[in-house]
Structure 1
Amino acid sequence: MAFFAYKARNSSGELLTGVMEGADSNAVADQLMAGGITPVDISVTTQTVTGAGASGLGWWARLLEKKVTPMDVQLFSRQLYTLLKAGVPIMRGLAGLQESAISPAFGRVIKDIRESLDAGRELSAAMARHPTIFTPFYLSMVRVGEMTGRLDEVFLRLFDHLEFDRDMRARVKSATRYPSFVVFAMLGAMVVVNMFVIPQFEKVFASFHAELPLMTRILIGTSRFTVAYWPMLALLGVGGFFGWRAWLGTADGRYQWDRSKLRIPVAGKIILKGTMARFARSFALSSSSGVPIVQALTVVAQTVDNTYLSSRVEQMRDGVERGESILRTSVAANVFTPVVLQMIAVGEESGSLDDLMDEIAEMYEREVDYELKTLSSQIEPILIVFLGAMVLVLALGVFLPVWDLGRAAMH
């Protein structure tokens, strides 16, 4: 379908402009008239709906306007849960949220969602038109709510998830702020030493007319290379960054990186446990809502924001389709701990797998919480070894020849 820019008047005679997606201009006119709006002009446009919301703003206003933040989406989820729980129709609820939106940009997003629902789209399809605001996990969870008729509970779960995710990111930033500062400061010091300090020491060492220690020769060679080829090194760094981004954009690159992330010391287990907690929550919600297991695993695989773990869940789904048990497919997936596998076995045997999955999610979340609390203490030994090695190399390379000269002078 194409996008159409329209001019229309509402019942009060006010001129309205915007962009709407439709099969043709007649379909767009029907959508507008169904909403009580009389079209004046409809023309094809290359502008998308997301950008159209800001089309009435000048370029300077668009540049300065505050973007939609994860906090906006989190509060939106909580407000929708409250409205749906109270029995308020979703169209009326969205209208109220649009009027009360603090962020003008997010208000335009809610307006587009309302227009999409008016056009007959599902809520998840309407939200999918804004991929920079609603993540694939968010959209998948909304689809689960649509399938099960439990949208209110889904939005509450999404609010809890976004709150947990925001808290986790804040604590990770807090725990890594000091180590990151130290590492970057040390790397900056290494660049200054290589570019400016060692070349001065090289002149002093040349006056010794003696064979320099191996570590000193390595430092001098590294310094000469850095001074001579620093433009090429900078260019290679920039090219490597963009090449890395392009590789991550491919399906194989994303899969390999998501798999490698799970092996990173300290961080890997936090990523794994956080992702598996999300999987368990989504599966419990789908299962308790009566969604068939195969279909539930298909939807849940989309909620896992790690392509490697998502493929493991799809492998579980394929096994269930072949008639295998959840336990057997979970063992074959090779991502669950023995304790979790035992809980899955008990849940499958007792018929209360959804309850056990909720407990598994809580267990993973507690473990993630503990890992985050101890993150600083886990990083510190690695940081100390790293810094100690760098200082040792510099000390041996720079001061060993001076010490050898002093010892020779004493003799």
Structure 2
Amino acid sequence: MMKFKYMAKTYDGITIKGTTCSDSIEELALDLRTKDLFLIKCRSIKKITEISPKPNLKTIAIFCKQFSICIKSGIPICDILNLLYEQIQHKSIKNSLLNIRGNVQKGNSLHRSMQNTINVYPEFMINMIYLGEESGKLDIILEELAVYYEKEHKLLKKFTNSMIYPCTVFVTLTIVSFFLFIKVIPVFITNLNTFHAKIPLITRLVLGMSNFLAANFLWVLMINLTAVFILIEYLKTEKGKMVFDKLKFSCPILGPVYKRIIYTRFTRGLNILLTSGVGLVSAFEIIHDVIGNRYFKLKLKTVFDDIKKGGDLSSSLNSMNLFPQFFMAMTKIGEETGNLDEMFLIAADIFYEDAEENVEKATALLEPILIIFLGVMIGIIILAVMLPMLNVMDSAGKF
């Protein structure tokens, strides 16, 4: 998609100037002909590319909220897109709005126009906009999407921020340990050897490791980088992604947090879909594509198949062996009373609160673990250095 500045004439010979987006000059000329305009000349101003960073959930939430307010105010879609283009600062959304506006002006639907953009809007959001257009409740659905993405953004941000400190400590400890092993300890032990003191076992082990790292540093670095590269390439494969996604669920400390994030996304998404009038089978089909975890999606496929065969939802979800029992009970009550959408909303709020608590627990657990690890590393280094010094002092005292 290109942005063109053009000059055209009407049947009466009146000159019209303007800017618009089109895939090529030929398509631009055809578009102008449909408006009874004849292209005289044009030039490309800017190429719309998809290399801009993908908008985060906070930006998507703000976009949905502003879109919803504009629709409630009775503003036509094309005018809304113009207003959002002027106000939105995110580059990829700003560029995509030019493309969307051009397609809407040609008579395409909003969701179809958004589908033509690459790596900008979440698939779940586009599907929900389609439902909003079909049901005439686009403003309501966009408002619900704003709440949905706002909550998910807050939860993911809290989780990410809680991991900054442990990761920083771990990386710093690793760098400092390498420096001590390679540069400091060999020099210190060499000086101690001039006193012909007895070298304890722990010191010999540390010194041996230090000499090995100093002599083979490049090889160690290359092997580690190669291993990381192989791991990254493996994780790009479908099997690797499946293994990694399953590991996220079974991870001892971070696993419970990640589970609640997925559960929140799952239940809140189903609530929005069911509230919007989507059938249960269709809702599961849509939610299956936007969960973001292959292991969970694989488990969810069995639920989807059971529902299509006429099975009840609570028993099918129970067969996944992933959800807590209170959610199973709530789902069963929701089925019996016909209030599944309300039950999913309540469950989403519970999972959201649980996720926040688990983030705090994970942070509280990781900090002492890192302190213990740090203490062990420092203790080994101190023992490796102090024991030979004590032997030297002991030998000096005998003379």
Question: What TM-score does the superposition give when structure 2 sets the normalisation length?
Answer: 0.85
Q: 2:16 aligns with which of 13, 18, 41?
A: 13
Q: Which residue of 2 aligns with 1:139?
A: 126
Unaligned runs of 5+ in 1: 46-50, 56-61
Paired AA for residue 316 in structure 2: T
Q: 1:266 aligns with which of 241, 253, 256?
A: 253
**Is 1:53 aligned with 2:56?**
no
Paired AA for residue 378 in structure 2: V
Larger displacement relative to structure 2 (259-268 or 191-200): 259-268
What root-mean-square deviation, in Å, do the aligned CA atoms of Structure 1 and Structure 2 show? 3.3
2-side partners of 1:215 and 1:130: how far apart?
Answer: 61
What displacement does 1:31 show?
4.6
The answer as to whether partners of 2:261 and 2:351 remain within 8 angstroms in 1 is yes
2-side partners of 1:168 and 1:19: how far apart?
Answer: 39
Q: Which residue of 2 aligns with 1:128?
A: 115
Larger displacement relative to structure 2 (355-364 or 181-190): 181-190
**Is 1:77 aligned with 2:64?**
yes
**Is 1:226 aligned with 2:238?**
no
Structure with more contact order per residue of length (Cα contacts < 8 Å, sep ≥ 6): 2
Compare CA radii of gyration and give the structure with the larger one. Answer: 2
Q: Name the count of aligned residue pairs.
A: 391
What displacement does 1:330 show?
0.2
For 1:6-405, what aligned pairs fall within 5 Å after superposition? Answer: 8-9=6-7, 13-14=16-17, 16=19, 18-20=21-23, 30-31=30-31, 33-34=33-34, 38-39=38-39, 52-53=47-48, 69-70=55-56, 71-103=58-90, 106-146=93-133, 148-207=135-194, 209=196, 212-405=199-392
Paired AA for residue 330 in structure 2: M
The answer as to whether partners of 1:179 and 1:383 remain within 8 angstroms in 2 is yes
Paired AA for residue 353 in structure 1: L
SS at match of 1:377: helix
Q: Which residue of 2 aligns with 1:58?
A: none
Deviations 1:224-278 (A, max 9, x none): 2221222233333433444333223222211111111122233221111111111
What displacement does 1:137 show?
4.0
Larger displacement relative to structure 2 (69-78 or 320-329): 69-78
2-side partners of 1:255 and 1:182: how far apart?
Answer: 29
2-side partners of 1:37 and 1:180: how far apart?
Answer: 61
2-side partners of 1:78 and 1:255: how far apart?
Answer: 34
The answer as to whether partners of 1:5 and 1:42 remain within 8 angstroms in 2 is no
Q: Return closer, same or farther for 1:237/1:74 CA change in 2, 3 Å cut-off.
A: farther
SS at match of 1:14: strand
Paired AA for residue 14 in structure 1: K
The answer as to whether partners of 1:19 and 1:52 remain within 8 angstroms in 2 is no
Q: Return closer, same or farther for 1:144/1:264 CA change in 2, 3 Å cut-off.
A: farther
SS at match of 1:132: coil
What displacement does 1:35 show?
6.6
Paired AA for residue 213 in structure 1: P
The answer as to whether partners of 1:141 and 1:303 remain within 8 angstroms in 2 is no
What displacement does 1:91 show?
2.3
SS at match of 2:289: helix
Paired AA for residue 234 in structure 2: W
2-side partners of 1:244 and 1:36: how far apart?
Answer: 59
Q: Return closer, same or farther for 1:140/1:254 CA change in 2, 3 Å cut-off.
A: farther
Deviations 1:311-362 (A, max 9, x none): 2222210111122110111011122101111111111111111111111111
2-side partners of 1:104 and 1:53: how far apart?
Answer: 10
What displacement does 1:205 show?
4.6
What displacement does 1:141 show?
4.0
2-side partners of 1:219 and 1:112: how far apart?
Answer: 62
* Identity across the alignment (%): 23
What displacement does 1:6 show?
6.6
Question: What TM-score does the superposition give when structure 1 sets the normalisation length?
Answer: 0.82
Q: Which residue of 2 aligns with 1:59?
A: none
Unaligned runs of 5+ in 2: 10-14
The answer as to whether partners of 2:242 and 2:295 remain within 8 angstroms in 1 is yes
Q: Return closer, same or farther for 1:217/1:35 CA change in 2, 3 Å cut-off.
A: farther
What displacement does 1:4 show?
8.0
The answer as to whether partners of 1:8 and 1:37 remain within 8 angstroms in 2 is no
The answer as to whether partners of 2:7 and 2:16 remain within 8 angstroms in 1 is yes
SS at match of 1:303: coil
Q: Return closer, same or farther for 1:341/1:174 CA change in 2, 3 Å cut-off.
A: same
Q: Which residue of 2 aligns with 1:48?
A: none
2-side partners of 1:318 and 1:105: how far apart?
Answer: 38
